Amino acid sequence: MDNVFERKLEEKPIEKPRPLHSSDFPPGIIEQRAIHQGLICFRGLIADRPSDGGTEKQMYFAEDESKLYIFNRVNEAWEVISLA
C-alpha cells in the first residue's frame, strides 16, 4: 500500500479573494432593515410631500431643497435636516 506522507504533493498558488459585488447576491437575499420595518425614504419636490405622516410616507427627501424630512409622531410634525 502507498504511504500518503511520502507522496510528492503538487504546490498550488494561494488565490487572493476578490471583493464581493452586489451582483454576487440574488435579489432579496440580504434583509434590508429599513424596508422590513416600513421606513422607505421617498423623494421628490417639496410640494409633493404629504401634509402629515398619516400616509405610508414617514420620511421624505425634497430634492429641490436638499432637505430630509422625517415625520415625528410625538408632536405630529415634520422634522427637517438640511443636507446642503
What domain range includes position 39? 34-84
> Is 53 inside a domain boundary?
yes
Does the model's pTM come out above 0.85? Answer: no
Q: pLDDT (tens digit, 9 = 90+) per residue, 67-76?
A: 999 888 888 8
> Is 5 inside a domain boundary?
no
> Is 84 inside a domain boundary?
yes
Q: pLDDT (tens digit, 9 = 90+) per residue, 15-46?
A: 888 888 878 877 777 666 555 566 678 889 99
> Is 25 inside a domain boundary?
no
> What's the structural domain count of the chain?
1
Cα distances from 29 to residues 8, 19, 20, 38, in angstroms, run 43, 18, 14, 18
> Is 65 inside a domain boundary?
yes
